[in-house]
Amino acid sequence: MAYDYDLFVIGAGSGGVRAGRLAAMTGAKVAVAEEHRVGGTCVIRGCVPKKFMVYASEFAHHFKSAEGYGWSGLEGASFDWKTFISAKDIEIARLSGIYVTNLQKAGADLVHARAVLKDAHTVELLGKDQTVTADKILVATGGRPVRPTIPGAEHGITSEEAFHLESLPKSILIVGGGYIAVEFAGIFNGLGSEVTLLYRGPNILRGFDEDVRVHVAAELEKRGVKIVLATEHDRIEKTDEGLVSHFSNGISVCTEQVMFATGREPYVKGLGLESAGVELNERGAIKVDEYSKTSADNIWAVGDVTDRINLTPVAIREGAAFAATVFQDNPTTYDHEHVATAVFSQPPIGTVGLTEAEARHKYDKVDIYRAIFRPMKYSFFGGEERCLMKLIVEEAGQKVVGVHMVGPDAPEIIQMAAIAVKMGITKQQWDQTTAVHPTAAEEFVTMREKYVPPELGAI
Ligand SMILES: Cc1cc2nc3c(=O)[nH]c(=O)nc-3n(C[C@H](O)[C@H](O)[C@H](O)COP(=O)(O)OP(=O)(O)OC[C@H]3O[C@@H](n4cnc5c(N)ncnc54)[C@H](O)[C@@H]3O)c2cc1C
């Protein structure tokens, strides 16, 4: 049977655009459907605008440290939210335009519509009164923020709206303990909002190394973020003074805004997956094999909708592996091990490999190397900030299996460390690397003393 397209991609985000572009470049007839804006979460309402907000919010800290270096006259400096938001929006529109151009240059058709599966080869384009057929389909619809169902939840915002607020809130309660919550706590705090971070677990950043979690929480508090842990958010009441949030510990907090950063879920609702024979796993994500193929023979899925590792570079690599396998006659799987990641908290985190707890679980014995120090920039005028660096080495083979850092430039530094970890570097090889001086990163290659956590001291 002749189909309208060789490949129909649903979703023009990180994964869909990369896969669609590479497939179209092989000469395949490709269409990419997007219901919102081309670029997806990362470009429109994720990584990119968030990083601009982080940059904007860091100036307050820079100004403060500038005083220590003899600068004055910065006391009255003020921030204009509207100026920033419009500059940010112009840049986001430019980037989205580049994605559109790249798709078009590759020869793919871009369809501005919500696409819904009718069967394994037929896609309905909502609002266009049109259906198209395709030999192969790629689902790359990403994820969505999860909103809690507590009374008054409709008064709160998520990260989606945080990028478009009319004004900078004087005060904000951020609910959640994951990386998005922590990043926005730093952003709003830096810009001058009074920030309370509420999380129901024992500490923020579940899944990160324990030392990193403790360190970041302490640094956030030093910068003025109020952190409330092990407490539930029961309800929100809208009053003339603001939004009153009632906590399970009996305390109430009144803030101008409440932001939910309470997790994300695969965006599969109303997509017609059942009519195409595409199964979900127990987490509600599309079930795929190592080639990103779903339970339907001609349908693949990549990115956040598969809930493997929900990061842009991972979605891109999964999309590229799909295109290589299906359109370049080159079966390719993407290796999800040792994916480095950054949290743009203030100070930021860079991490790759296992946490100490994971390493202790996996290996008989592990060696830990750890350093906590004042970054050079703050050394002579008493800045409070501390930098954390940690190496985890499995004892038997001396392989470096985890690298963690909290401090200035950690995201940049971890990218390079990730190459070494991915290559299976040993501690000895790591130590043979000569330091770059004076940097913070040099601390990583000069850590010689093993660190024994106090709780293991007696062993
Ligand atoms: C606030 C925030 C900050 C983040 N920061 C980072 C970061 O710093 N680093 C990082 O690596 N990752 C970050 N991420 C994660 C990153 O954005 C995602 O992992 C990445 O965008 C996933 O790409 P994707 O292709 O799977 O989906 P998406 O980029 O979400 O793209 C999916 C696209 O599909 C469209 N779509 C959905 N359904 C349909 C349909 N039926 N028809 C047509 N179109 C449809 C959507 O509108 C969307 O444009 C962040 C995410 C958030 C929310």
Closest residue by Cα to residue 285 from 303, 262, 270, 312: 303
Longest CA span, the chain: 75
Is residue 458 scored above 90 in pLDDT? no
Ligand 1 atom 12: residue of nearest CA: 311
Helix (H) or strand (E) holding 246: strand 243-247
* Residue 75 pLDDT grade (very low, low, confident, very high; cuts 50, 70, 90): confident
Number of neighbouring beta carbons within 10 Å of residue 23: 28
Ligand 1 atom 3: residue of nearest CA: 46
Q: If you count DSSP H runs as helices and E runs as strands, how many of each does the chain have, helices first?
A: 12, 21
353 lines ligand 1 (CB under 6 A): no
The tens digit of pLDDT for each residue in 216-262 reads 999 999 999 999 999 999 999 999 999 999 999 999 999 999 999 99
11 lines ligand 1 (CB under 6 A): yes
Beta strands at 171-175 and 257-260: parallel, antiparallel or unpaired: parallel
Q: What is the model's pTM?
A: 0.97
- Give the position, in ligand 1's atom list, of the atom nearest the Cα of 14: 25
- Give the position, in ligand 1's atom list, of the atom nearest the Cα of 145: 53
> Cα separation of 415 and 448, whole Å?
22
Using the mean position of ligand 1's atoms as its centre, give its distance from the Cα of residue 39 in Å: 8
Q: What is the pLDDT of residue 379?
A: 81
Ligand 1 atom 49: residue of nearest CA: 40
Cβ atoms 262, 280 nearer than 8 A = no
Tell me if residue 439 falls in helix, strand or coil: coil
Ligand 1 atom 48: residue of nearest CA: 40
47 lines ligand 1 (CB under 6 A): yes
12 lines ligand 1 (CB under 6 A): yes
Using the mean position of ligand 1's atoms as its centre, give its distance from the Cα of residue 459 in Å: 46
From 38, 42, 132, 164, mutation site for ligand 1 pocket: most ligand atoms within 8 A of C-beta? 42
Closest residue by Cα to residue 216 from 178, 188, 247, 249: 178
Using the mean position of ligand 1's atoms as its centre, give its distance from the Cα of residue 69 in Å: 41
10 lines ligand 1 (CB under 6 A): yes
115 lines ligand 1 (CB under 6 A): yes
110 lines ligand 1 (CB under 6 A): no
Ligand 1 atom 30: residue of nearest CA: 142
Is residue 374 scored above 90 in pLDDT? yes
- Sign of the Cα pseudo-torsion (199, 205, 210, 211, in order): negative
Using the mean position of ligand 1's atoms as its centre, give its distance from the Cα of residue 450 in Å: 41
What number is the average pLDDT over the span 335-345?
97
- Give the position, in ligand 1's atom list, of the atom nearest the Cα of 344: 8
Q: What is the pLDDT of residue 457?
A: 59
Q: What is the pLDDT of residue 64?
A: 85
What number is the average pLDDT over the span 58-84?
91
Is residue 380 scored above 80 in pLDDT? no
The tens digit of pLDDT for each residue in 305-324 reads 999 999 999 999 999 999 99
Number of neighbouring beta carbons within 10 Å of residue 299: 25
Is residue 418 scored above 90 in pLDDT? yes
> Cα separation of 457 and 390, whole Å?
18
Using the mean position of ligand 1's atoms as its centre, give its distance from the Cα of residue 212 in Å: 26
* Residue 456 pLDDT grade (very low, low, confident, very high; cuts 50, 70, 90): low
304 lines ligand 1 (CB under 6 A): yes
Closest residue by Cα to residue 317 from 336, 294, 330, 338: 336
198 lines ligand 1 (CB under 6 A): no
Cα angle, residue 42 at apex, residues 158 and 313 outer, rounded to 5°? 130
Using the mean position of ligand 1's atoms as its centre, give its distance from the Cα of residue 309 in Å: 12
Q: What is the mean pLDDT of the chain?
A: 96
Percent of the chain past pLDDT 90, that is, above it, reads 93
315 lines ligand 1 (CB under 6 A): yes
* 400 token code pair: 């470096």
* 160 token code pair: 């989606």
What number is the average pLDDT over the span 176-187?
98
34 lines ligand 1 (CB under 6 A): yes
| 437 catalytic residue (yes or no) | yes
Ligand 1 atom 50: residue of nearest CA: 46
Is residue 459 scored above 70 in pLDDT? no
Q: What is the pLDDT of residue 338?
A: 94
* 72 token code pair: 């004055």
Q: What is the pLDDT of residue 382?
A: 67
- Give the position, in ligand 1's atom list, of the atom nearest the Cα of 302: 26
> Cα separation of 107 and 178, whole Å?
39
Please tell me which residue in 155, 215, 246, 437 is annotated as part of the active site: 437
What number is the average pLDDT over the span 127-146?
97
First to last CA, the chain: 70
Mean pLDDT lowest among 32-46, 92-106, 327-341, 440-454: 440-454
* 270 token code pair: 């109303």
- Give the position, in ligand 1's atom list, of the atom nearest the Cα of 143: 30
* Residue 76 pLDDT grade (very low, low, confident, very high; cuts 50, 70, 90): confident
Q: How many CA atoms lie within 13 A of 122 on its CB side?
A: 8
177 lines ligand 1 (CB under 6 A): no
